[in-house]
Amino acid sequence: MFDLFFSHILSVDRFNSAAVAMVFVSLVGLMTGPCWGNANPCLWILLDKICGRLVSKTYNVNRSVTSLQFRGAVILTLYLLITGILAAAALLLERKFALAGFMDPFLLALTLSGGATWSALIKLHHALRGKEGLSKGSYFQVAVSTKTNLNSTDDHGIIRVGIGFVARSFDKGVVAPIFWYLLGGLPGAFFYCGMAAARWSLSKDGFAKGIGTLALKLEEVFGFLPQFFSAIILSMAALMTPKAGMARSFVGLFRSQGYAPYAEGGMPLTSMAYALNVSLGGPVDDAGGSVLKRSWVGSPSSTARVERHHLRQSIYMGIMAFVLLFFFVVLGALAWKILQ
């Protein structure tokens, strides 16, 4: 059983592919920026291009909760069906065109975010500074990626959304896909990515009157354990982030106050709020005009008047968390070789 586990599940090839995919997605993402203004994983973007219009037409607040739940279940099934077809195509490509082993990490990179997220957030930071050559349109990439109407809030609210995107992107766009890739290969990463994309499209952070309930619950089942690892790594990254508190972040994860519900960011968002000693969340309008009454996350003594330097800290913290995860993946590959 031990040999079977390490030969077919946590194999050294998967650790190596995960490390290469992380390097690829960080460098290419920084150079190209977000595709179509969306900094989420490429597979999310593709699924949204296929199903996004159907989702917007299907969501009708005048329908009953039961009706919307049924519609949400149908759309979720469609997301998973398309994801299954893409996963089968990915396996076929990997077997037919291995490209000296580089096809596997390239396909895995489609389920990850990294450099594109940093690019969008850095652009947002420059726009908030009023840097010459940038305008309010510089907020577009973060608005699209988070499905948030940033015109409905002030600079403090915009920064809170940006910081929240750092935590969510690291959790749903990096840690969780790699976790399921290590356990289930490309099909594991693709199917989790399909669930996360459906949740992002349908759930409205749990405020969608039923249409996103099933997608949210399904993603929570597969994302609950990865969010724990995401929060721990983010807390460790706080040690390498100026004026952030690692101990404060760890303590915050075990407090009953100021804790983010899973649908609104969960443990990673809580970890970041306590590490930076700020309040995150709060009400905001989504892209469709709905008001999302998010909980306030963070210490009772923290401030919701977050500033640009807090956004800069969060970007740095997110990059350090990405580097730490890369280190752990490489360490896992070395440990596998020693155990063999």
Which residue matches tokens 């896992």?
A: 332
Domain ranges of the chain: 2-339
DSSP state of 261: P
Residue 102 has pLDDT above 70, yes or no: yes
262-to-60, 123, 225 alpha-carbon distances in Å: 25, 28, 12
Instruction: Give 3-35 pLDDT, tens digit per residue.
Output: 444 445 667 889 999 999 999 999 999 888 888
DSSP state of 307: -
Instruction: Give 177-206 pLDDT, tens digit per residue.
Output: 999 999 999 999 999 999 999 999 999 888
Split at pLDDT 50, 70, 90, the class of 57 is confident
- Residue 86 Ramachandran class (φ > 0 left, ψ -120 to 50 alpha, else beta): alpha
Residue 2 has pLDDT above 80, yes or no: no
Write the CB contacts of 332 (distance below 8 Å, at least 6 apart in sequence). 10, 15, 182
Q: Exposed, middle or buried by CB within 10 Å (0-12, 13-18, 19+), for 6?
A: middle
Distance CA 201, CA 198 (A): 5
**Taking all residues of the chain, what is their mean pLDDT, rounded to a whole number?**
89
Q: What is the mean pLDDT of residues 233-256?
A: 90
Split at pLDDT 50, 70, 90, the class of 1 is very low
Query: Residue 97's pLDDT is what?
Result: 86
Q: What is the mean pLDDT of residues 50-66?
A: 86
